[in-house]
Amino acid sequence: MKATVTVMLKNGVLDPQGKAIAHALGTLGFSGVADVRAGKVIELDLAETDPVKARAAAEEMARKLLANTVIESFRVAVEE
C-alpha cells in the first residue's frame, strides 16, 4: 500500500525556496504568479494492507522523522 506524505512549511513561516522560485518564474516571463510555496513529498511503499493502519503508520513516521512539526505541517494520502 502506498502512502504519500506531503510536508509544507506552515503559513507564516518564511519560505525562501518558494520566494526564489517565484522570482525565477518572473525572470522567465511567467506573470500572474501571486505566491509560491515549496515543500517535500515522501512516497512510502508500505507492507501494511489496511488503509487505516497504513495512514496511522505514515502519520507517526511524519511526526517522528519526516516533518519538523514546529515549523512544518504535513498531510497524508493513502492509495491502494
Q: How far apart are CA 52 and CA 54, in angstroms?
A: 5
* C-beta of 66 vs 76, nearer to a copy of itself: 66
6, 19, 56, 59: which one binds a copy of itself (CB under 8 A): 6
User: How many residues contact a copy of itself, by CB under 8 A?
Assistant: 32
> HSE-up of 69 (CA within 13 Å, CB side)?
8
Cell of 24: 525565477
Contact letters for a copy of itself, residues 26-45 (x by CB under 8 A): --x-xxxxxxxxxxxxxxxx
Other Cβ atoms within 10 Å of 4 Cβ, number: 14
| Residue ranges binding a copy of itself (CB under 8 A) | 6, 8, 18, 21, 24-25, 28, 30-48, 57, 60-61, 64-66
